[in-house]
A and B are shown apart, each in its own frame.
Chain A
C-alpha cells in the first residue's frame, strides 16, 4: 500500500463499533464531518460543519465552573443554571473539554489519518469475518472530504475489508468516483424526488444526486436506496412511488425506509442550535407497514429500518 495513502488525513466526529443497522454484518462506522445538505430532520447536527465544535450536555453538567476558569477567551458564563458559550468569542481550543470532570463538554471533530482510522477499524476484523461485516463510512457526508474518504476506502480494500458508504450522492462525479470505486455497497439517501421541493427543503436541487445514482448503478456497484420517512416532508405516496420507480429504472433492487426519530433533538440544544421539527410525530409501525404495502407493486425488496 502506498504510504501517502495512509498518511492522508481528514476530520471525523466519531467511530462506532458494533454497528448493526448500516450494511451487512457487524460493522464499524466512521462518521465523517461536514455535509453540503441542510436536512431539517438531521439526527447528527454535529456532523454538518466541517470545523470542530463544542457540545455541551446540561444534564451531565455539575456547574463546577472549571470550564469558565480555564477559558482564555472569556467565552463562557453561567446563565440560569447552565454554562452558556459566546460562539463569537470561542476559538474551540478545547481546554474547557479537557478540564470537564463530567464529560459534559465535548469537542466534536478530530483530525485523523487513514492509518489511525484503519487501526481502529481493524480491531473488529474477527467479528466482520464471521458476520460478513466491515467498515461503513457515514457522516455528515463522506463525499465532503472526497480525498480522505477515497484514501480510507482504498486502504480498507487493500486490507480485504468489506466497504459500505452512506451518502447523499451530492458531489461532482470526478470527486465521487474515486470514493465509490473502492466501495462494495452504496447506501444512497434519496430524500425527495421533486427537485424544486428538494431545493426548498434541503437547500440544493437533486439532479446531481439522481444522475450520480444512475451512473453508480451503471458502473455495476450495488446500491440500496434509503429514504428517511419524515411525515409531512416526503412521505407522500407520490414521492415514495416516484423513488421506487426511479430505483427500478436504474436497476436498484432494495429500498430501506428509515423512520423519522427524534434521537438527535438534544444534540441541537447541546450545540446551541434550534431544532425546527418540534411538531412532527414519529411514524407508527402500522403506518410504515402501510407504506411498504403501497410499494409492493414495484419489484423491489422494501425494508423498514436499516
Chain B
C-alpha cells in the first residue's frame, strides 16, 4: 500500500506562534500556584448527604456535586475551555478522600515555605480546609491503608526501601482512556449503552445487582459531564452578549455552540474534537488526584476531524494550529498539591500528561500525519512542562519527520522523548497478552508507561531502591547508616568465599523486599476498592461498561502494575567492583571493603579503596565486563518481580524510571561499593552513574542495549546529555537523528531522551567536573572534553549557550 508522506520542510506545516498564544502563554507562566478549597468543601458536603448510600453512588454524586457547583471560568483569548480549580488559572483543588493528615501538618506554614513546589494559601482557604478536617478523620484512603498494613511490611516501608507516596494517598491516573469512543458516540451514546445493559440485568442475581449500582453511577457521572459542558456554553453565551469586539464575540458564540453539543453528542468538527479531548482530560483530573492522566495519541484520534474539515474548507491549518496550541496551554493549568515527602520524589509539579505522536497504525503502517507535525510546532511554541510529549519511532518512520523531531529536541525541553516501537510492541504483547493490533496502538501514559488501548496501569507500584538491596546483601541485612536490621540474614559478608555467594545474598534480599512491596501495593488497592471507585474514569475505559465493573474492581480489559528499580547503575557497578577487586584480582578483602563502606571511606586507606572502586569498570562505557553485570543484575530484579500478580491477578512489570527519587533514596543509602559516598544520590533511571560514562553517547546506547529491555514493559528512561554545539548545524543534527534511529530501530532500545545542556548545567560542570566527565565537545579534528578546558574557554562556551537560548 502506498502511503502519502508529508515533508517537514514544506512551508505549509511550519507555523509560527500567534499573538493570542503568546499572550495566553504569558498568563499561564506568570500565574502562581495557589490552593483552592472549593472541591474539598463540595465533596465533603456530598459525602455528608449520602452516608447511607453505597460507596460507588456516593463517589458519583460527589463528582456531580463538584461539577454542578464549582466556579467556572472562560479566560481571555481562550478557544478551548474548562478550568481545573476555582481560584485562578493555576489553582490546585484538594482531594480529602485520599488523605488530609499531611495537609493538616503543612497547611499553615510548610506549603508556603517548603523548598519544592510552594503554594500561595489564602487565609480563607486555610479556614475552609480546617473546617472539614474533623469530618475526614479516620475516613481517608491513607489512614485505612496504614491501619491494614501488616507490621513487617510497615516496618520495611517505613525504612524507605521502597516508597509509593502519591500512590498511597492519591487516586489512579495511569489509564488509557478511550477518547475515540467519546468522540464517536458522546456521553449520550455511553448512556444509551448503559441503559441497554441495565435493562438486561437479572434482578435476582447478586453480581448483576453490583453491576446495577455501577451502571447507575455511570449515568450520574455522564449527566454531570454533559451538564458541566452546558454550564460553559451558558457562560460563553453570556460573555458573548457583553463582548464589544466583534471577532471575540463570534469566538465566544462558537464556544457556546461547541459546549452545548459536546461531549454529549458525537463531535462534528475539529474544534469540537479538541474540546472533547480537553474535557475528558480535565474531568478525569477533577474526579481524582491520580497522576499521569494522559490524552494519548491525539494525532491519531483527531485526524479524521482535521482531514474532513480541511477537505470541506471549514478549517485552515493556522486555525488547527491555534486550537492545538490552546490545548497545549490548557494542560499547563492543571496542578495538584502533594505533601513535602512526595514533592521530593516528584519535584516541579509533574502532572506528566502524556501526548504521544507518530508510531504505527493498528495494522502496522506508519501513522505519522499532518497533525503529528503540527503538534511538534505546538511543542516548539509552548515549551512548558506539559504535555509530557513523546514520539514513537519505528523502522518506517519518515526521515524528515525524525529530523523535525530532532529540531524540536534541540530547543532543550528534553522533549519529545523518543520511544522505539520495535521493542515496545513485543514487550507489551509479552507481558499483557494483548493482540497485535491493540499493542500497535499503544500510547505513553505518564513518563514512560507503555499503555495499549484498554489497559489500566495500576499507578506506580513503588520506587524500589535496588542500590540499597545490594548493600544490604553486602552487610547481612543490616542498614549501614542506622545499624538496624531491616533485611534478611544472608550471611556475614567477610566469610563469602566466592562471588556466587554475593549473588545468592542479593537474590534473597531482592525476593524478600519485592514480596513486601507487592503486599504494600495490594493493601492500597484493597482500600481503593472499598473507598474510592473511579466512576467517571471507568466509564471511558474499555472493559468497564462491558463487565459492569469499576476499574478499582478490575473492570478494565487489561492491566499491569509497574515497579521502578532506583539506583540500577549504582547497584550493578557495586557488584562489578566487588567481583573484580575482591574475588577476581584479590586486591581487596571483604573485611576491608566493609570497613571502608561502614566508615564512608574515612582515612587514607578509605580514600584509596574508594579510588580503586571508582576505577573499576562502569556501566555506560560499552564495556562488557560492567554491562554484563547490569544485565545479570536486572535479570535478578525482573525474575523476582515477574513472579507476582496484582490485586486483579494481572502481571507486575518493570519500569526503569526514577524522577527525583534518586535524592531521597540516596539520603538513606550508605556508602556503596561502586565508590559512591553515603547519602549522595543514587543513579538515575537507566542512565549510567553521573560522570561514569566517558566514551560518548554511542557507548551509552550500546551499554543500555545489553539490558533485556523487552522485560521493561512499563518503560525505561535513558537520558543523554548533549552540549548544543554538537547539534548545531543540519549535518550534525542529521547524524544525531541517525544515531537515535540506530538505537531505537537496530539496537531495539526502548526509549531515549536528550537534555540539551543549558548554561546552568555547564556552570555546575565547572564547579563539579567529576560529575560531568561525559560532557563532550565536538570540533573538527580536535580532541577534548568540556571539563578539561580552561575556565576562560568554558566561560566562552557558557556565554554562547546562553546567547543561543534567547
Interface string of A259-270 (1 = CB under 8 A from B): 001111111010
Decide yes or no: A18 and B732 within 8 Å by CB, A123-B699, A166-B781, A264-B782 being known contacts: no
- List B contacts of A130 (CB < 8 A): 738, 741-742, 746
**Residues B782 and A131 in contact, CB atoms below 8 Å apart:** no
**Residues B783 and A29 in contact, CB atoms below 8 Å apart:** yes
Partner of B790, one of A101, A258, A269: A269
What residue in chain A is nearest B729 (Cβ atoms)? A305
Q: Which of B771-785 contact A (CB under 8 A)?
A: 773, 776-784
Decide yes or no: A306 and B739 within 8 Å by CB, A17-B695, A18-B697, A262-B793 being known contacts: no
- List A contacts of B611 (CB < 8 A): 101
Q: Which of A20-36 contact B (CB under 8 A)?
A: 20-22, 25-26, 29, 31
Closest chain-A Cβ to B419's Cβ sits at a distance in Å of 18
**Residues A266 and B699 in contact, CB atoms below 8 Å apart:** no
Q: Which of A206-258 contact B (CB under 8 A)?
A: 226, 256, 258
> Does chain A have a CB within 8 A of B383?
no
Closest chain-A Cβ to B800's Cβ sits at a distance in Å of 11
> Does chain A have a CB within 8 A of B361?
no
What residue in chain B is nearest A269 (Cβ atoms)? B790
**Residues B698 and A266 in contact, CB atoms below 8 Å apart:** no
Decide yes or no: A17 and B698 within 8 Å by CB, A29-B783, A263-B782 being known contacts: yes
Q: Which of B758-806 contact A (CB under 8 A)?
A: 766, 769-770, 773, 776-784, 787-791, 793
Q: Which of A123-158 contact B (CB under 8 A)?
A: 123-124, 126-127, 129-131, 133, 138
**Residues B790 and A266 in contact, CB atoms below 8 Å apart:** yes
Decide yes or no: A26 and B784 within 8 Å by CB, A126-B747, A265-B793 being known contacts: no
**Residues A31 and B698 in contact, CB atoms below 8 Å apart:** no
Interface string of A284-306 (1 = CB under 8 A from B): 00000000000000000000011
**Residues A22 and B780 in contact, CB atoms below 8 Å apart:** yes
- List A contacts of B149 (CB < 8 A): none
Partner of B735, one of A20, A101, A102, A258: A20
**Residues B781 and A22 in contact, CB atoms below 8 Å apart:** yes
Tell me what chain A mostly uses at the interface: helix, strand, loop, or mixed.
mixed
> Does chain B have a CB within 8 A of A44?
yes
What residue in chain B is nearest A25 (Cβ atoms)? B735
**Residues A16 and B739 in contact, CB atoms below 8 Å apart:** no
Partner of A59, one of B695, B735, B741, B791: B791
- List B contacts of A171 (CB < 8 A): none
Closest chain-B Cβ to A195's Cβ sits at a distance in Å of 23
**Residues B739 and A21 in contact, CB atoms below 8 Å apart:** no
> Does chain B have a CB within 8 A of A13?
yes
Closest chain-A Cβ to B804's Cβ sits at a distance in Å of 13
**Residues A102 and B770 in contact, CB atoms below 8 Å apart:** yes
Closest chain-A Cβ to B377's Cβ sits at a distance in Å of 27
**Residues A20 and B779 in contact, CB atoms below 8 Å apart:** no
- List A contacts of B726 (CB < 8 A): 20
> Does chain A have a CB within 8 A of B241?
no
Q: Which of B511-544 contact A (CB under 8 A)?
A: none
Interface string of A42-62 (1 = CB under 8 A from B): 011000000000000101100
- In the complex, what distance in Å separates the CA atom of A263 from the CA atom of B746? 35
Closest chain-B Cβ to A286's Cβ sits at a distance in Å of 16
**Residues A263 and B793 in contact, CB atoms below 8 Å apart:** yes
> Does chain A have a CB within 8 A of B622?
yes
Partner of A306, one of B698, B747, B780: B780
> Does chain B have a CB within 8 A of A19?
yes
- List A contacts of B791 (CB < 8 A): 59
- List B contacts of A31 (CB < 8 A): 783
**Residues A123 and B793 in contact, CB atoms below 8 Å apart:** no
- In the complex, what distance in Å separates the CA atom of A127 from the CA atom of B705? 13
Partner of A263, one of B729, B732, B779: B779
Closest chain-B Cβ to A269's Cβ sits at a distance in Å of 7
Decide yes or no: A266 and B696 within 8 Å by CB, A130-B738, A258-B781 being known contacts: no
- In the complex, what distance in Å separates the CA atom of A87 from the CA atom of B741? 49
> Does chain A have a CB within 8 A of B650?
no
Tell me what chain B mostly uses at the interface: helix, strand, loop, or mixed.
helix
- List A contacts of B783 (CB < 8 A): 13-14, 16, 29, 31, 44
Partner of A131, one of B607, B699, B742, B790: B742
**Residues A20 and B731 in contact, CB atoms below 8 Å apart:** yes
What residue in chain A is nearest B776 (Cβ atoms)? A18
What residue in chain B is nearest A16 (Cβ atoms)? B783
> Does chain A have a CB within 8 A of B188?
no
- In the complex, what distance in Å separates the CA atom of A266 from the CA atom of B788? 8
- In the complex, what distance in Å separates the CA atom of A269 from the CA atom of B789? 11
**Residues B782 and A43 in contact, CB atoms below 8 Å apart:** yes
Closest chain-A Cβ to B302's Cβ sits at a distance in Å of 33
- List A contacts of B607 (CB < 8 A): 101
Q: Give the number of residues in B that approach A within 8 Å (Cβ atoms).
A: 40
- List A contacts of B68 (CB < 8 A): none
**Residues A123 and B622 in contact, CB atoms below 8 Å apart:** yes
> Does chain A have a CB within 8 A of B702?
yes
- List B contacts of A262 (CB < 8 A): 793
- List A contacts of B697 (CB < 8 A): 18
Decide yes or no: A126 and B776 within 8 Å by CB, A43-B782, A263-B782 being known contacts: no
Q: Which of B691-743 contact A (CB under 8 A)?
A: 695-699, 702, 726, 729, 731-732, 735-736, 738-739, 741-742
What residue in chain A is nearest B727 (Cβ atoms)? A20
**Residues B793 and A127 in contact, CB atoms below 8 Å apart:** no
- List B contacts of A21 (CB < 8 A): 732, 778-781
Closest chain-B Cβ to A223's Cβ sits at a distance in Å of 16
What residue in chain B is nearest A139 (Cβ atoms)? B781
**Residues B777 and A26 in contact, CB atoms below 8 Å apart:** no
- List B contacts of A256 (CB < 8 A): 780
Closest chain-A Cβ to B153's Cβ sits at a distance in Å of 43
**Residues A26 and B782 in contact, CB atoms below 8 Å apart:** no
- List A contacts of B776 (CB < 8 A): 18
- In the complex, what distance in Å separates the CA atom of A75 from the CA atom of B731? 47
Partner of B784, one of A29, A126, A258, A263: A263
**Residues A131 and B739 in contact, CB atoms below 8 Å apart:** yes
- In the complex, what distance in Å separates the CA atom of A26 from the CA atom of B697? 11
**Residues A60 and B699 in contact, CB atoms below 8 Å apart:** no
- List A contacts of B741 (CB < 8 A): 130
- In the complex, what distance in Å separates the CA atom of A115 from the CA atom of B783? 22
- In the complex, what distance in Å separates the CA atom of A266 from the CA atom of B793? 8
- List B contacts of A102 (CB < 8 A): 769-770
**Residues B793 and A60 in contact, CB atoms below 8 Å apart:** no
- In the complex, what distance in Å separates the CA atom of A218 from the CA atom of B769? 49
Decide yes or no: A59 and B698 within 8 Å by CB, A20-B726, A127-B739 being known contacts: no
- List A contacts of B781 (CB < 8 A): 21-22, 43-44, 138, 166, 258, 306
- In the complex, what distance in Å separates the CA atom of A262 from the CA atom of B769? 20
What residue in chain A is nearest B766 (Cβ atoms)? A59
What residue in chain B is nearest A123 (Cβ atoms)? B622
- List B contacts of A57 (CB < 8 A): 788
- In the complex, what distance in Å separates the CA atom of A22 from the CA atom of B779? 9
**Residues A18 and B739 in contact, CB atoms below 8 Å apart:** yes
Partner of A44, one of B698, B747, B782: B782
What residue in chain B is nearest A57 (Cβ atoms)? B788
**Residues B742 and A60 in contact, CB atoms below 8 Å apart:** no
Decide yes or no: A17 and B699 within 8 Å by CB, A26-B735, A102-B770, A130-B742 being known contacts: yes
**Residues B735 and A261 in contact, CB atoms below 8 Å apart:** no
> What are 16 contact pairs spanning A and B, CB under 8 A?
A14-B783, A16-B696, A18-B739, A22-B781, A31-B783, A43-B782, A59-B766, A59-B791, A123-B698, A226-B780, A258-B781, A263-B784, A263-B789, A266-B789, A305-B729, A305-B780
A-B pairs, 3 with minimum CB distance:
A306-B780, A266-B790, A21-B780
Q: List the interface of chain A (C-beta within 8 A of B).
A: 13-14, 16-22, 25-26, 29, 31, 43-44, 57, 59-60, 101-103, 123-124, 126-127, 129-131, 133, 138, 166, 226, 256, 258, 261-267, 269, 305-306
Given A126-B747, A130-B742, 19 new contacts (CB under 8 A) = A13-B783, A16-B783, A17-B696, A18-B698, A20-B726, A21-B778, A21-B779, A43-B782, A59-B790, A60-B769, A60-B788, A102-B770, A123-B702, A124-B698, A129-B742, A130-B741, A262-B793, A263-B789, A266-B788
